[in-house]
Amino acid sequence: MAQFDLNDDGVVVIIGSGAGGGTLGNELAQRGARVVILEAGGRHEIEDFINDEWASFTQLAWADTRTTGGSWRVARDFPNLPAWIVKAVGGTTTHWAGASLRFTAHEFQARTQYGAIAGANLLDWPITLAELEPYYAQAEDRMGVTGTNGIPRLPGNNNYKVLAAGARKLGYKEFHTGNMAINSEPRAERTSCHQLGFCFQGCKMGAKWSTLYTEIPAGEATGRLEVRPNSMAIRIEHDAQGRASGVVYADAEGRQQRQRARLVAVAGNSIESPRLLLNSASARFPDGLANSSGQVGRNYMRHTTGSVYAVFEKPVHMYRGTTMAGIVRDEAAHDPKRGFAGGYELETLSLGLPFLAAFLDPGAWGRGFTSALDSYDHMAGLWIVGEDMPQAENRVTLDPRVKDRHGMPVASVHFDDHANDTAMRRHAYGQGRALYEAVGATRSFETTPYPSTHNLGTNRMSASPRDGVVDKWGKAHDLPNLYVSDGSQFTSGAACNPTLTIVALAIRQAEHIAGRMARGEV
Amino acid sequence: MRQIDKRAAVRRRVFLRGAATGPAALAAAGFALGAEAAWAGDLRVLTPATMATLARAARDIFPHDRLADRYYIAAVLPYDDKAASDKVLRALIEEGAARLDAEAQARHGRAYVQLVGEADRVAILQALEATPFFARLRGDLVVSLYNQKEVWPVFGYEGASYDKGGYIERGFNDIDWLPEA
C-alpha cells in the first residue's frame, strides 16, 4: 500500500474520504496521480459496524463540538449537534440511506426558473443537466443504483407498502422503491440487501455503496492512494505565488504534521470545508482562503425536511428492512401554484425505538408523548426532502469563543428557515398526513427536522468569481490548484438526496484535474 | 404477519454496577417504586430518599404502564456512580430531588413519592420544567430508559438483526391489512 513522504510535493492531498473525497481519490489514482487522503476519523470496516443506534452513533458520528445560532429548532434541541454526519473513513457514505436521484434540468437554473425571491440568494449553476448526464450515468453504474443499468429495484418493505397504498389513494402516480445504491442482487463483488434495517448504522452486508469498501480499496490497489485516518486538517498553506502548497494536520497523537502538495481538494462536508478555508486565512488571503467573494460559509442549505409518523390500528413494524424503502416523486416538480418555489420528495424513513424516542419530538415528555411510543410497532414513517432557499445569512462562521483541542476555532452554524421553506414544509406535512390518513392512520405526528444530514452550499459554484467560491469544475476562483469536492460546492440544493450528484461531480472533476496535470497546468 | 413476543426479556444486564443492580436482579428481588426504596440500600453517595424520588419522577416523565418499575429504577441508578465523581451533577440531582419534595410539601403536605395522584406529581414536574435539573433528568432518561434492550420487546422493537440474517426471511414485507389497489 502506498505511503508518501510528508515532503513529497508531487502528491494530490484530499481532505475527507466520503462521497466526494473518496471518489475523487480513487479516480485520480486510477488515472495515475499519487494521492494522499487525510481523514479526520478512524477506519471502521464492515465487520465493526454495530446494529445498535446509540452504540453506532458513538462509533461513527461527528461529535466534535460545534455551536449553533438562528431560529431553527435544532439550535434549541441539539445546540452542539447541528448535523448528523460521520467522522470515519468513508465519511457519511457509511451512514447515508442510499437514495440516488438525479437533479432535473430546472434545478440547475434555480434563479432563472424561480425568479427573484426576496431574501433568497438564488443563483444558477454554471453547469447544466446535459453536461452532468454522462457523469451521472458513470456514477449510477459505479454505485449500482437500482432502477438504472438494468438493475432491478429493491422489494418494498412494510413501511413502503403503507406509503404506496396511501400514495395510490391520494392519486399520486410516481412512487416506487427508489433509485438506491443498494444491491438488489449481487454486483461488483458485493452481496445483496438482506433487509437488515440499520442502513444508518453502516451496512453490515456491504450491500449499500460506501467509499469505505468500494472506491477507497480500489484506489489503494493501484499503489497510488494512501488514506491517513485520524488526521484532522488544521489549515491549508500557500506559497508566495498564491498556490496551495500543503496541508497542516494533527495526527492520531495530536502532533502537527505538514503534508506538501501539488494540488489540494477539500471534501470535509459543508460545515468543516468552509471552516478549514476560514481557518486558513493568511496575510494574502485575510478573509480566508478562496474567499474574495465573501461567500465562503454562506448560503448554507440543509434541505427543507421533516418527518411524518403515523399510527395505525394494526402493526406495521416499519424498522424491518431498508430504512429508505421507497419514494413518492409527484411533489418534486416546480409548481408555484402550491405557494412555494421548488419541490419535495416523500421518502420512507424509520428509526429504531431509541432514536424515535430521542427525535420524535425532542424535549417532549408525559403521556401524550409516551402513548405515541407505546404504538411504536404500529407506526409508519416518512421523510420530507425539499429544496430550501440559499440565504446569505445562513452560514458557517468561526466561533469567536470556542476552540477545538488543537486550538482552532470551531464551526458555528446559523440557520433560519426562509418563508419558502416554511410554506413547503407545511404543504409536505399536510400531504404526508393525508397520505397516511387515507389508509387508516388514527394519529399522526409532524416531526421537526433532525440535525442536518444534507449539508450543502457553503462553497458554492458560480460563473462569476463575485458570486461564489468555486468555478464550474469546483476549482477555487482565487487559487489555481485548490478544489472543493463535496456538497459545499452546490449552488442550489434541488429536491434530491445529494450523494449521487456529489459523486458525479467528483468523477467529472477528476477527469478535469487529470487533464490539467497532463498538460502541466498544475 | 409475524408478531413478536412482547414479554420483556429478562436475560442480560445493562448497567455498569453489575448483577446487584441490573434490571434482572431488581426483578428477582421484587423491587418496585416506593418510599422505602429497599432496592437503594447499597447506594454510594445519593440517599435512598433521593433515589426513590428520581425513580418516581422517571416514571412520571415517561409513563409506560406496561413497563415494570425496575426499568425506571435501572434508568436512574447510574446517577449514583456519576454523582460520586461529579460534584456539580451531584448537587444538581440532590437539589432537584429536594425541590420536588419541597413543592410537594408546599402543595400537599407530603413528600413527592407519597403523592398518590399522578396529576399532582405531573403538575409539580411541569412547574420545574424550565429548570436545569428537569432538562438534565429528561435528557438522560430518554436514553437510559429507551436504550435498555430489555424494554424493546414491550414496544415491539426487535433490535439487532444482522445476527439473525436480517428480515429478508423474517417479515420485512409481511403486512397483510392494507387496502387492495
Task: Verify whether the Cβ–Cβ distance B155 to A195 is below 8 Å.
Answer: no
Q: What is the mean pLDDT of residues B58-74?
A: 97
* The pLDDT value given to residue B20: 45
The one-letter code for the residue type at A432 is G
Q: Which residues of A touch B (CB under 8 A)?
A: 51-52, 54, 155-158, 161-162, 165, 168-169, 193-198, 204-205, 314-317, 319-321, 352-354, 357-358, 363, 365-367, 369-370, 373-374, 376-378, 439
**Cell numbers that stand for A482 in this block:** 485548490
Q: By C-alpha distance, which of A179, A106, A95 is closest to A136? A: A179
pLDDT, one tens digit per residue, over A218-228 is 999 999 999 99
* The pLDDT value given to residue B33: 77
Query: Exposed, middle or buried by CB within 10 Å (0-12, 13-18, 19+), for A224?
Result: buried
* The pLDDT value given to residue A446: 98
In terms of phi and psi (left: phi > 0; alpha: psi -120 to 50; beta: otherwise), the region of A100 is beta
Residue B17 has pLDDT above 50, yes or no: no
Q: What phi, psi does A121 have (nearest 5°)? A: -105, 55
Q: What is the mean pLDDT of residues A120-137?
A: 98
Helix or strand or coil: residue A310?
A: strand
Residue A195 has pLDDT above 60, yes or no: yes
pLDDT, one tens digit per residue, over A250-286 is 999 999 999 999 999 999 999 999 999 999 999 999 9
* The pLDDT value given to residue B16: 36
Q: Best residue in B71, B158, B167 to probe A by mutation, most A CBs within 10 Å?
A: B167
Residue A319 has pLDDT above 70, yes or no: yes
Task: Verify whether the Cβ–Cβ distance A51 to B160 is below 8 Å.
Answer: yes
Q: Give chain A's domains with CATH numbers.
A: 12-518 (3.50.50.60)
Least confident of A61-65, A399-403, B31-35: B31-35
Domain-wise residue ranges, chain B: 23-151
Helix, strand, coil content of chain B in percent (nearest 5): 55, 0, 45
Name beta bridge partners: A403: A409
Q: Could you tell me what percent of chain A has a pLDDT over 70?
A: 100
Give the number of A-B residue pairs with CB atoms closer than 8 Å.
Answer: 123
Task: Verify whether the Cβ–Cβ distance A51 to B1 is below 8 Å.
Answer: no
Residues in Cβ contact with B170 at an 8 Å cutoff, skipping those fewer than 6 apart: A320, B2, B161, B164
Q: By C-alpha distance, which of A118, A194, A180, A174 is closest to A143? A: A180
Q: What is the mean pLDDT of residues A431-438?
A: 98
Distance, in Å, from the CA atom of A361 to the CA atom of A355, rounded to the nearest integer, reads: 11
**Cell numbers that stand for A138 in this block:** 458513470
Distance, in Å, from the CA atom of A222 to the CA atom of A220, rounded to the nearest integer, reads: 5
pLDDT, one tens digit per residue, over B111-123 is 999 999 999 999 9
**Cell numbers that stand for B31 in this block:** 423491587
Task: Verify whether the Cβ–Cβ distance A320 to B142 is below 8 Å.
Answer: no
CA distance A189 to chain B (A): 19
Q: Work out the angle between the directed axes of helices B132-144 and B48-61 (0-180°, nearest 10).
A: 70
Task: Verify whether the Cβ–Cβ distance A366 to B122 is below 8 Å.
Answer: yes
Residue B39 has pLDDT above 80, yes or no: no
**pLDDT-derived band of residue B36, with 50, 70 and 90 as boundaries?**
low
Chain B partners within 8 Å of A373 (Cβ):
64, 146, 155
Between the CA atoms of A407, A19, A355 and B17, what dihedral angle is there, to the nearest 10 degrees? -60
Helix, strand, coil content of chain A in percent (nearest 5): 30, 20, 50
Task: Verify whether the Cβ–Cβ distance A162 to B156 is below 8 Å.
Answer: no
Q: Would you call B168 an interface residue with chain A, using a CB distance cutoff of 8 Å?
A: yes
Q: What is the mean pLDDT of residues A210-238?
A: 98
* The pLDDT value given to residue A184: 98
Q: By C-alpha distance, which of A132, A135, A48, A172 is closest to A434? A: A172
Helix or strand or coil: residue A328?
A: strand
Distance, in Å, from the CA atom of A91 to the CA atom of A99, rounded to the nearest integer, reads: 16
The residue in chain B having the minimum alpha-carbon distance to the alpha carbon of residue A170 is: B181
Least confident of A212-226, A343-357, B15-29: B15-29
Other CB atoms within 10 Å distance of the CB of residue B118 = 12
Residue A208 has pLDDT above 50, yes or no: yes
The residue in chain B having the minimum alpha-carbon distance to the alpha carbon of residue A205 is: B162
Which member of A54, A162, A370 has the closest CB to residue B63? Answer: A370
Report the mean per-residue pLDDT for chain B: 88
Q: What is the mean pLDDT of residues B93-107?
A: 98
Q: Could you tell me what percent of chain B has a pLDDT over 90?
A: 75
Report the mean per-residue pLDDT for chain A: 98
* The pLDDT value given to residue B5: 87
